[in-house]
């Protein structure tokens, strides 16, 4: 079916409101991107969404929809209709899933590690290759927070180490750790679809016997050599005692999902348990890391 996309320029104050307006005007789906076309970091239901200063709110309408009516509806409720910036685009009738797959290519992180979409040829068969299909879960390597964690893992000697991946999503970090030599990884996620994607990706990589997966309510008590948690700043703040409890003495910890302006507050919290390193930055996101004292 052909589609029409309506793009509305917004900011962190107006994005949520515009999304509601678009849905009220009959949009089938609403997505947010920043001005550089980066998808918004997906929150959990109930979590606060992190919007950029220049967010574009995009509503998708089927091509038979009366767009003039939609525009006049929006102008009617916009407090300053002269300032309302919008753009209408006709989208070709494409297979969107196929399009996404076509745009996902093998990516290298650090010195040894490649993340390869499972439907693509492996560029360096001798390298450490993780074959991945994220399915419905977060984690392809394209998001800066995942990239920061993958690069960190690549820089460690994980041989025979036990690793906890808190918020495992597609399993991307768990599999990277296993392929880089970890003995065992414990993946934890609040979302059952993430655990399923992680399980399938583990099978795809032949490491399912070394990956244990849990919902938080079932998570075991253990001490790990390495703990990585790529979740948002809010849960990292609340779960600091739980996450650090997993880190063995002298064990290593990496945290991401944190915006630059949120870093200092988290460094102060985690310094209670760990000697923290300088933060690593990629785009507006950071990775915090440290060693348990
Ligand atoms: C940004 S994704 C990270 C996925 C993957 N680890 C990566 O680095 O790309 C965050 C994941 O954490 C999970 N998550 C969020 N809050 C959580 C919590 N309180 N406990 C466990 N998992 C959580 C989400 O379901 C999601 O799969």
State the pLDDT at residue 121. 92
Enumerate residues 6+ apart whose C-beta is below 8 A from 68. none
Is any ligand 1 atom within 6 A of the Cβ of residue 168?
yes
**Binding site, annotated residues:** 146, 167, 189, 230
In this structure, what DSSP letter does residue 25 have?
T
52 lines ligand 1 (CB under 6 A): no
Check: CB of residue 187 under 8 Å from CB of residue 170: no
What is the position in ligand 1's atom list of the atom closest to the CA of 150? 8
Residue 4 Cβ inside 6 Å of ligand 1? The answer reads no
Residue of 115, 167, 178, 288 to test ligand 1 pocket, by largest number of atoms within 8 Å of CB: 167
Dihedral pair phi/psi, residue 253, rounded to 5°: -135, 135
Note the pLDDT of residue 185: 98
pLDDT tier at 91, thresholds 50, 70, 90: confident
- 52 against 205, higher pLDDT: 205
Residue 37 pLDDT grade (very low, low, confident, very high; cuts 50, 70, 90): low
Average pLDDT of the residues in 207-218: 98
Spacing, Cα 257 to ligand 1 middle (Å):
9
Q: Reply yes or no on whether the pLDDT at 27 is more than 90.
A: no
Average pLDDT over every residue of 140-161: 94
User: For residue 41, what is the enclosing H or E element?
Assistant: none
**Residues annotated in a binding site for S-adenosyl-L-methionine:** 146, 167, 189, 230
Give the integer Cα–Cα distance in Å for 197 and 249: 31
Most confident residue range from 4-18, 41-55, 95-109, 232-246: 232-246
Distance in angstroms (rounded) separating the CA atoms of residues 53 and 157: 39
Asked if the model's pLDDT at residue 81 lies above 70, the reply is yes
* Rounded distance between C-alpha atoms, residue 100 and residue 94, angstroms: 11
Q: Which of the pair, 232 or 128, is modelled with greater confidence?
A: 128
What pLDDT score was predicted for residue 232? 87
Q: What does the pLDDT read at residue 49?
A: 55
What mean pLDDT, rounded, does the chain reach? 88
133-142 average pLDDT score: 78
């Amino acid at each position: 079916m052909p589609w029409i996309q309506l793009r509305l320029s917004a900011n962190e104050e107006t994005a949520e409101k515009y999304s509601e307006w678009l849905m009220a005007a009959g949009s089938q789906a609403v997505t947010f991107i920043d001005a550089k076309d980066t998808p918004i970091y997906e929150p959990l239901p109930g979590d606060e969404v992190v919007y950029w200063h220049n967010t574009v709110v995009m509503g998708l309408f089927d091509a038979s929809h009366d767009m003039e009516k939609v525009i006049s509806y929006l102008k009617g409720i916009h407090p300053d209709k002269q300032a309302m910036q919008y753009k209408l685009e006709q989208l070709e009738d494409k297979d969107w899933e196929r399009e996404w797959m076509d745009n996902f290519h093998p990516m290298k992180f650090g010195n040894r590690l490649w993340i390869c979409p499972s439907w693509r040829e492996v560029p360096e068969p001798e390298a450490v290759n993780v074959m991945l299909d994220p399915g419905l879960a977060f984690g392809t390597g394209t998001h800066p927070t995942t990239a920061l964690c993958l690069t960190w893992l690549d820089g460690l000697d994980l041989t025979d180490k036990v690793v906890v991946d808190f918020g495992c999503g597609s399993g991307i970090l768990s599999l990277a750790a296993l392929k880089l030599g970890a003995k065992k990884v414990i993946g934890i996620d609040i979302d059952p679809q993430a655990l399923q994607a992680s399980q399938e990706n583990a099978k795809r990589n032949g490491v399912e016997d070394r990956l244990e997966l849990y919902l938080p309510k079932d998570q075991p008590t253990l001490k790990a050599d390495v703990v990585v948690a790529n979740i948002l700043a809010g849960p990292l703040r609340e779960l600091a005692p739980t996450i650090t409890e997993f880190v063995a003495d002298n064990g290593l910890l990496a945290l991401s999902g944190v915006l630059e302006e949120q870093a200092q507050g988290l460094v102060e919290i985690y310094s209670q348990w760990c000697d923290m390193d300088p933060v690593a930055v990629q785009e507006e996101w950071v990775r915090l890391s440290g060693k348990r004292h």
